[in-house]
Amino acid sequence: MAAERPDTGGEVIWRVSRIQPENHDVTSMFLEGKDAKFAARRAGQYAVIRVMRPEGWSEPHPFTISCAPEADYLQFTIKAAGAFTSSVRNIEPGTPVKCLGPNGTFCRDIDDRPSVVLIAGGVGITPFLSVLRHFHAKGASNEVMLFWSNKTFEDVFCLEEISGMSNALNLKVVHNLSREDDPKRHLRGGYPNVVFESGRLDAGVLSRYGVNPKAAFYLCGPPPMMDSVLQELSTLGVDPEAVEREKFSWK
């Protein structure tokens, strides 16, 4: 389907093709359309979207494009936080969505980094979903460690897909479940590179999995979690200034 270009603003109109619940409060919205700028996007970039409502276009909201840049659609993976994000699950297929972008430079040079450490808190995984899907699409050989913090196992999503990629890529996945006492019960046969830890992500966990302080570090999550992780990384000799970060808040 060819995208319609509005008169102003550089926004391109796409249409919802599918709404997919990922877990109890995270939903993926898939858009179909075509646009040269979005076709040239990079993993980790975001778009500012407006959804057509009966009363007109919604206010703009920024979301990371969570699919691979190789995909011929757009995917946004959205956690219910307030009125707009909580309404995403009820959006009907066919609904027009204006997209402004792609924006951002997070993970821009990641293809060229031989050893990368990705650290996500909750829905802060979305830029890394794009990166991993991109690495998978191109058969990348970079050494990748993913540390993903969630409160409970029920908060984790895309588990099958990420676990599968841990066998296809040079990828180790450490799930940190801060409120689970017995995280090891989630271990599954066939995925030796996927492990579960309890408690918050600290220097002990990072060093136990052999994090290389010389690797390229990327961090995305709630601001308090990001501050705490930077502190922990600094005790391992990682310069916090060298950690690339994406903030999902704009305060």
Q: Considering only residues 99 through 118, tell me which ones interact with ligand FAD, judged by CB under 6 A.
A: none
Is 130 a binding residue for ligand FAD by CB under 6 A? The answer is: no
- Least CB distance from residue 203 to ligand FAD, whole Å? 27
Closest of 94, 98, 86, 69 to residue 27, by C-alpha: 86
Is residue 74 a contact point for ligand FAD (CB under 6 A)? no
Give CA separation, 116 vs 67, 80, 108, 159, 218, in Å.
Answer: 19, 29, 13, 20, 8
Given a contact cutoff of 8 angstroms between Cβ atoms, the answer to whether 77 and 121 are in contact is no
Give yes or no for residue 62 binding ligand FAD (CB under 6 A): yes
Query: Closest by alpha carbon to 68, among 175, 158, 153, 174?
Result: 158
Choice from 85, 115, 198, 228 touching ligand FAD (CB under 6 A): 85
Q: How far is the CB of 121 from ligand FAD (least distance, A)?
A: 12
The pairing of strands 46-53 and 61-64 is antiparallel
Interaction between residue 248 and ligand FAD (CB under 6 A): yes
**Minimum separation from the CB atom of position 25 to ligand FAD (A):** 9
Interacting span for ligand FAD (CB under 6 A) from 143-151, 164-172, 201-209, 243-251: 243-251
Among the listed ranges 77-85, 94-102, 132-140, 144-152, the one in contact with ligand FAD (CB under 6 A) is: 77-85
Taking alpha carbons only, the member of 213, 188, 167 closest to residue 175 is: 188
Least separation in angstroms between CB 192 and ligand FAD: 29
Please confirm whether the linkage preceding 102 is cis (ω < 30° from 0). Answer: yes
CB of 179 to ligand FAD, least distance (A): 20
Return the number of the residue (197 or 246) whose C-beta is nearest ligand FAD: 246
* 166 CA to centre of own chain: 16
Site for ligand FAD contains 30 (CB under 6 A): no
Taking the C-alpha atoms of residue 147 and residue 160, their distance in angstroms, rounded to an integer, is 16
Does the protein bind ligand FAD through residue 41 (CB under 6 A)? Answer: no
90 near ligand FAD (CB under 6 A) = no
CB 162 within 8 A of CB 173: yes
Q: Does 128 bind ligand FAD (CB under 6 A)?
A: no
Q: Is the dihedral of CA 11, 15, 21, 25 positive or negative?
A: positive
Determine the Cα–Cα distance for residues 11 and 5; give it in Å rounded to an integer.
7
| Cβ distance to ligand FAD smaller for residue 82 or 237 | 82
List contacts with ligand FAD (CB under 6 A). Answer: 46, 61-64, 77-79, 81-85, 123, 126, 248-251
